[in-house]
Amino acid sequence: MPCRRHPPRRELVSAPEHVLVIGASAAGLGTAEALRRKGYQGRLTVLGAESRLPYDRPPLSKQVLSGAWEPERTQLRTQEVLDALDAEFLLGDAAVALDATARTVRTASGRTLSADAIVVATGLRPRMLPGQEDLRGVHVLRTLDDAAALRSALLGATGVPPAEVPQLPRGGVPRGRVVVVGNGVLGAEIAATAREMGPTVTLVGPQAAPMADQLGPQVAGVLAELHTQRGVRLLNGTAVAGLTSHQRRVSGVRLPSGETLPADVVVVAIGCTPATEWLTGSGLRVEDGVVCDSYCRAADGIYAVGDVARWHHDTLGSSLRLENRTNAVEQTAVVAANILGENRPYTPVPYFWTDQFNAKIQVYGMPSPGAEVTVVEGSERDHRFVARYSQAGQATGVLGWNMPRQTRLHRQVLVDGNAHTPVPSL
């Protein structure tokens, strides 16, 4: 009986009998929902490595880490809504092998799953510093459990039983010295959130300013000023040589100069790698992600979506892999359509956002550090502005700082007349 949550389902002539989605985060769940919205009535299975119901990741470094949200608020759908999808959710069981020709997946628990169409949505794994896994006090931030552990460490909640840590206690005394390694998007967000919680925070990383590779030197300079004004110590253009420790607990971050930054808590945010190690020997092409054509198809009957997918963008004439929530959701609609035979290329205007202190920064397109930047509305001094990025006379990006409505309007320049805009290598 059709679920009332979905529009009436139409008959699908060549729909696969069984679709298996590997990954139960935003991209995996979004694919399942998009299939049902488009009228798919066949068998649908979603396999997830984490035991939790699908949850949202962008709030982890901001609302969850700060304590503004309880963990439950990150859940993407209620159990009732998930049940209405008429999909089988197999959670807490990671995929460990794929045979692309046979379209068969083997899981950590020993299951063997076969399907007519398979969607790879396994996302990312955080990069680590050598030896960090053996030290207490060193954290990454990718999962809800990671956010809980980091918040507990920042608050110095050492007396909280491990079973209660996911409740993100609001009490406790902030630990004194926090070092965030990596000054990209995630590192800058964590540094901002941690500083507002009270500890002293040092942000160290190879970029010339926080997010300079994403925003270019001009806007990244404005962001650096904001962090400095709020009390974050910035060590830009600085590599990290390793970690120091005492009795298997981290004590500092060692720099190539020989200087050591003392630390009670270290957060490593040096980027992520696509979760593709389980695809070794699968028959799929894997090069910094699952390589797909412009239809997000990796092989006959095999698709990839979200952070793990590297696909060919026909309009930009380049292979892209985007690590952001917006792409993970938008791509699912195209993947679902193509599974059902529509043959739609995926050609979005890339978009991401970041919230740091009182700044909401939105970025459309593909700005690069070498692009010419023109403030077209507002003022950098007032921290309310829209900037346009261009190269060789063509607009490549639009950035808004605390001007969301105006930024969306200026986005149109990327839609009009930029079919051959060159895209910087990722």
In one letter, which amino acid is 354?
A: T
Question: CATH for 18-125+273-339, among 3.50.50.60, 3.30.420.140, 3.40.50.360, 1.10.3370.10?
Answer: 3.50.50.60
Q: Which of 112, 100, 102, 125 is nearest to 298 (CA)?
A: 100
Chain-centre distance of CA 53, in angstroms?
17
- pLDDT band per the 50, 70, 90 thresholds, residue 425: very low
- pLDDT band per the 50, 70, 90 thresholds, residue 176: confident
| Residue 69, pLDDT score | 96
Domain 358-415 -> CATH class: alpha beta
Instruction: Supply the DSSP string of 86-153, one letter for each residue.
Output: T-EEEES--EEEEETTTTEEEETTS-EEE-SEEEE---EEE---TTGGGSBTEE--SSHHHHHHHHHH
Lowest mean pLDDT among 33-42, 151-160, 291-300, 332-341: 151-160
Would the pLDDT of 31 be above 90? Answer: yes
Would the pLDDT of 303 be above 60? Answer: yes
Q: Are 54 and 26 in contact (CB under 8 A)?
A: yes
Would the pLDDT of 174 be above 70? Answer: no
Would the pLDDT of 35 be above 50? Answer: yes
Each residue's pLDDT tens digit, 221-259: 999 999 999 999 999 999 999 999 999 999 999 999 999
Q: Mean pLDDT for the chain? A: 90
Evaluated on CA atoms 330, 125, 175, 251, the torsion sign reads: negative
Q: Are 187 and 180 in contact (CB under 8 A)?
A: yes
Domain 18-125+273-339 shares a fold with domain 128-270: yes
- pLDDT band per the 50, 70, 90 thresholds, residue 167: very low
Q: Are 187 and 163 in contact (CB under 8 A)?
A: no
Each residue's pLDDT tens digit, 183-206: 999 999 999 999 999 999 999 999
Q: Are 354 and 220 in contact (CB under 8 A)?
A: no
Domain boundaries, the chain: 18-125+273-339, 128-270, 358-415
Report helix angle 185-197 to 212-229, nearest 10.
10
Instruction: Supply the DSSP string of 346-413, one letter for each residue.
Output: -----EEEEEETTEEEEEEE---TTSEEEEEEEETTTTEEEEEEEETTEEEEEEEES-HHHHHHHTHH
| Residue 15, pLDDT score | 87
Q: Are 236 and 207 in contact (CB under 8 A)?
A: yes
pTM: 0.89
| Residue 175, pLDDT score | 53
DSSP character for 314?
T
- pLDDT band per the 50, 70, 90 thresholds, residue 382: very high
Q: What is the mean pLDDT of residues 357-375?
A: 94
Distances (CA, A) of 63 to 24, 70, 246, 251, 260: 22, 8, 32, 28, 31
Would the pLDDT of 315 be above 60? Answer: yes
- 244-247 long-range contacts (CB < 8 A, ≥24 apart) are 245/135
Instruction: Supply the DSSP string of 245-275, one letter for each residue.
Output: EETTEEEEEE-TTS-EEE-SEEEE-S-EEES
Would the pLDDT of 288 be above 80? Answer: yes
Domain 128-270 has CATH 3.20.20.70: no
Distances (CA, A) of 21 to 48, 244, 275, 420: 9, 42, 15, 34
Higher-scoring residue by pLDDT: 160, 184: 184
Q: Are 304 and 95 in contact (CB under 8 A)?
A: no
Burial label, 59 (beta-carbon count in 10 A; 0-12, 13-18, 19+): buried
DSSP character for 57?
S
| Residue 415, pLDDT score | 84
Each residue's pLDDT tens digit, 2-28: 333 333 333 344 789 999 999 999 999
Give the helix/strand (H/E) hosting 47.
strand 43-48
The most distant pair of C-alpha atoms in the chain lies apart, rounded to whole Å, by: 68
Lowest mean pLDDT among 32-36, 53-57, 194-198, 418-422: 418-422
Each residue's pLDDT tens digit, 230-239: 999 999 999 9
Tokens of 169: 């206690």
